[in-house]
Homo-oligomer: A and B are copies of this chain.
Amino acid sequence: MKTRSSKAARLEDVAKLAKVSTATVSRALTLPHKVKARTLERVQQAARTLGYVAHGAARALASRRTHTIGAVVPTLDNAIFANTIQALQRTLDAAGYVLLLASHDFDADIEARVTRTLIERGVDGLVLLGTTHHPDIYRMLESHNLPYVLTWAFDESGNHPCVGFDNRAAGMCIANHLLDLGHRRFAMVSGITAHNERAQERLAGVREALSAHDIALSPGSVIEKPYTHSGGREGLREVLKGNEAPTAVICGNDVLAIGAIAECHAQGLKVPDDVSITGFDDMEMASLISPALTTVRFPTAEMGVYAANHLLARLDDRSVELRNKLPTELIVRASAAAPARK
Contact = CB atoms under 8 A, between A and B. Distances in A.
Nearest to A103: B89
Contacts of A89: 76, 101-103
Contacts of A57: 56-58, 60-61, 66, 122
Nearest to A84: B76
Given A78-B82, A82-B79, A116-B53, A102 B102 contact: no
A140 B56 contact: no
A17 B77 CA distance: 44
A229 interface: yes
A145 interface: yes
A142 B76 contact: no
A11 interface: no
B86 A53 contact: no
B77 A86 contact: yes
A86 B58 CA distance: 30
Copies in the complex: 2
Interface string A99-137: 111110100000000101111111000000000000000
A300 to B, nearest CB: 11
Interface in A263-301: 266, 283, 285, 288-289, 291
A99 B98 contact: no
A51 interface: yes
Interface of A: 4-6, 8, 51, 53-58, 60-61, 66, 68, 75-79, 82-83, 85-86, 89-90, 93, 98-103, 105, 114, 116-122, 139-140, 142-145, 229-230, 258-259, 262, 266, 283, 285, 288-289, 291
18 contacts: A4-B142, A5-B145, A53-B120, A57-B57, A57-B61, A57-B66, A76-B82, A76-B83, A76-B85, A76-B86, A90-B105, A93-B102, A99-B102, A101-B101, A229-B285, A258-B288, A258-B289, A266-B291
